[in-house]
Amino acid sequence: MDFELWWLLGIPVFFALGWIAARVDIHQLVSESRSLPRNYFKGLNFLLNEQHDKAIDAFIEVVKLDPESADMHFALGNLFRRRGETERAIRVHQNLLARPDLPLEQQGHAAYELGMDYLKAGLLDRAEETFNSLVDTQYAAQARRALLEIYQREKEWPRAIEAAVGLQESGAGARQKEIAQFYCELAHDALVHMKPDDAMPLLEKALQTDRKSVRATILTGDVLLARGDTEGALTTWRRVEQQSVPHVALVAQRLMDGYTKVGRAQEGVNLLRSYLEEASSIDLIEVVFKAVIELDGVEAAKQLVSAELRRTPTLLGLDKLLEARMMDAPAAIWSELSMVKNLVHGYTQKLARYQCSHCGFKARQFYWHCPGCNRWETYPPRRTEELNVMN
């Protein structure tokens, strides 16, 4: 490639042009920053230091000086909402929407923020109306997510399914797990109202949506049992093992009751004991423990609990062992065992909780839908102490 000497002359020229452009940008930046009110920077500083009250006061002064500043109104409205002052947040965003000169993009933004104000205030009808007006705008995904939250709060499961499907089809992420749970909610309602025939098609849709839905499988067994098909229910509940071995603890009592009903209680005990070998669980031990006492006696139950306690040492397991020991303990030591049992049992009540893996919310019963963070299937089917031992 031929080299021309005059190319060297272009280097200082380009350097000079770059220097001039940088000076122009810096000059513009400085002039713009000087034009901003001093309270704007004070408000930012208060925000960075988590002093929301002072930040609001500073931003209110800015809005007074420049009523046309839409961005400042957005900041102020969001601060009000975060502080729980939803009425003031609503007024700020309503005033923005009432401005005839507000650009179309900012109109959508203001409507979305107003919908979030309504949602935070618990005005679900107004929030739903506002978000529905945004489903054909650039805020469609955010609006559908908010609508999904509203329908779940109101337990409007058909509309929740519709909203979740819309989100999934729009490319906003997979929602199979939630959709399956919504079908399960509808099926559960049908079962509660003694309509098993209405529940079955809903559960079929749930399993078509999410083949790994343990809840749908459990409820399908419940429907078969309600129809009088105990053998079919047992076959269905056993499928839980194929979906998630730890979740068999949730169907252990159903399985034991079912096998007892058809006259094959020992087969049920043997099955549950095989599950214990795969996934030890206090809830599972509880069911097997009671069944072994009835079928094989106290000594066999003590051996069962002792073996499980050696394999997985927990206070919950010790509590169960003490219960077994007290059943045939001599009178001389029964009172002492009773005292120890009461002390251990009192402490284990704090450990015998299920805990949400997302928000940490603890509960005495197992939930498919966390009451703390409103997420689905975030509860492991094991008690907190068992999880700590495993970790």
- Tell me the binding residues for Fe cation: 356, 359, 370, 373
* Residue showing tokens 């009425």: 87
Please give the annotated binding residues, written as ranges: 356, 359, 370, 373
β-bridge partners, 363:
354
CA–CA dist 130, 90 (Å, integer): 12
Measured over the CA atoms of residue 263, residue 266, residue 267 and residue 271, the dihedral's sign is positive
Note whether 149 and 374 are within 8 A (CB): yes
From residue 63, alpha-carbon distances to 29, 96, 103 in Å are 22, 12, 18
Note whether 232 and 222 are within 8 A (CB): no
Chain-centroid distance of CA 77 in Å reads 27
Residues with Cβ within 8 Å of residue 86, at least 6 apart in sequence: 80, 117, 120, 121
SS (H, E, C) 164-183: HHHHHHCCCCCCHHHHHHHH
CA–CA dist 298, 110 (Å, integer): 69
**Residues 180, 283, 256, CA angle at the centre, nearest 5°?**
80
